[in-house]
Amino acid sequence: MEKYRAKKTEIDWIKFSSLLEWRFYKYFRDNSIKIIELQPHYELQSWFRYQGKAIRKIEYVADFKIEYEGDIFIIDAKGMSVPVFALKYKLWLRKYGDENTLIIAKSIKDLEKQLKM
């Protein structure tokens, strides 16, 4: 994350990759929003062999999995869009989109708007 000028931050003995991620965590904690999981991993494509060579799996790691008003949301704090995310987002939608709601938010205000708070 350093190449995108994200500032690593820590709270409650948890290390976050960015200040935005830390703000989201603090917001959830301060507003009693249940955090089910930090850094949930989603396999987009399993590993495979090609001409005898092992090709690594492709994963998408979100920032949070939360429960809000009885619904489950996958949250990604994105202050800046990175090129690989567009591809991973499409793969995620195809595999998990019908059963999960992914929210990509650039601020607390944006998050509140998408959660319809």
Question: From CA 89, how far away is CA 62, in angstroms rounded?
Answer: 10
Q: What is the model's pLDDT at position 5?
A: 60
Which of the four pLDDT bands, split at 50, 70 and 90, describes residue 6? Answer: low
Tell me how many domains the chain contains.
Answer: 1
Q: Is the pLDDT of residue 42 over 70?
A: yes
Neighbours of 97 (CB within 10 A): 13
Structure tokens at 37: 């999981």
**Checking phi first, is residue 97 left (phi over 0); if not, alpha (psi -120 to 50) or beta?**
alpha
What are the tens digits of pLDDT across the range 48-72? 999 999 999 999 999 999 999 999 9
Structural domain that includes position 84: 2-115
Which of the four pLDDT bands, split at 50, 70 and 90, describes residue 16? Answer: confident
Q: Is the pLDDT of residue 2 over 70?
A: no
